[in-house]
Amino acid sequence: MQPLFRFRLLSSRVLIAAALASSLGLTACAPVLVGGAVLGTTLAATDRRTVGMQVEDKNIGLKVSSRLSGRYDNASINVEVYDRKVLLVGQVPNQQAKQDAELQARTVENVREVVNELEENFPSSFSTRSNDLLIASKIKASLIDAKDIFANSFKVSVEQGVVYLMGKVTEREGRRGTELAAGVQGVRKVVKVFDYISEAELEGMKKVEAPRADGATDKSM
């Protein structure tokens, strides 16, 4: 295989992985990114957060990212938000930058918690970020294939092979999701950043009103 063809093949694979990851609401780390699914879609409608909370999380993510963008030299930070909990992953040049990034996130209005997983290191390479996207897409596919959990309850972020799982799940769902993520090739570790709910709370969430053809409502999902 000639070098030029090899480069084109790699580029095509990267583009395919990125497109798949984008369609599934997945993120890997790049210089100050905001994760999350596009609101107003089926994914938003089936999220366990209210639509109002999804909008709030999106706004928080944009505000945090705006504060961090260009603030540090040689930094690559990914911002994930779920139910007003902010997750920071990626690389920063030193401990001072790591602490400052957490302070910037924590002081954004309506943030209830900050999980700071930033590392003091050089920014990850393009090939590493592309591989992280591919891993994330495989994890999401595994979650979708599983019949005993609801895939859209999980938000997946991957940084240098380390998987971060967010979402509003039961302990059973959390264990199952972690097991599936850990089984994907290339995963070095799985970090759980869940908000746990009880099985009874989950059953309550399932009893939502769904329109029927006769104009009545169905209380079951």
The answer as to whether 148 is a domain residue is: yes
User: Coil, strand or helix: which one is 123?
Assistant: coil
Give the Cα separation of 140 and 151 in Å (integer). 7
Q: What is the mean pLDDT of the chain?
A: 83
55 lies in a domain? Answer: yes
pLDDT given at position 45? 52
Q: Give domain status of residue 138, yes or no.
A: yes
Q: Is 135 among the domain residues?
A: yes
**What DSSP string runs through 26-76?**
-EE--SSEE--PPTTSHHHHHSSS-HHHHHHHHHHHHHHHHHHTTTSTT-E
The more confidently predicted of residues 85 and 210 is 85
Q: What range does the domain containing 183 cover?
A: 25-202
Q: What percent of the chain has pLDDT over 90?
A: 71
Return d(Cα 190, Cα 182) in angstroms, integer.
Answer: 6
pLDDT, tens digit, 9 for 90 and up, residues 172-186: 999 999 999 999 999
- 140 occurs within a structural domain: yes
Q: What is the pLDDT of residue 23?
A: 45
Residue 82 domain-assigned?
A: yes
pLDDT tier for residue 206 given thresholds of 50, 70 and 90: confident
Q: What is the pLDDT of residue 7?
A: 35
pLDDT at residue 82 tops 70: yes
pLDDT tops 60 at residue 39 = no
Q: What percent of the chain has pLDDT over 70?
A: 73
> Which comes out higher in pLDDT, residue 24 or 152?
152
Phi-psi group of 184: left, alpha or beta (phi > 0 → left; psi -120 to 50 → alpha; rest → beta): beta
* Rg over CA atoms, the chain: 18
Provide the pLDDT for residue 119: 98
Within a 13 Å sphere around the CA of 49, how many CA atoms are in the beta-carbon half? 25
| Number of domains making up the chain | 1
Task: Give 119-149 pLDDT, tens digit per residue.
Answer: 999 999 999 999 999 999 999 999 999 999 9
Note whether residue 218 is domain-resident. no
- Residue-level pLDDT at 188: 98
Task: Please report whether residue 9 resides in a domain.
Answer: no
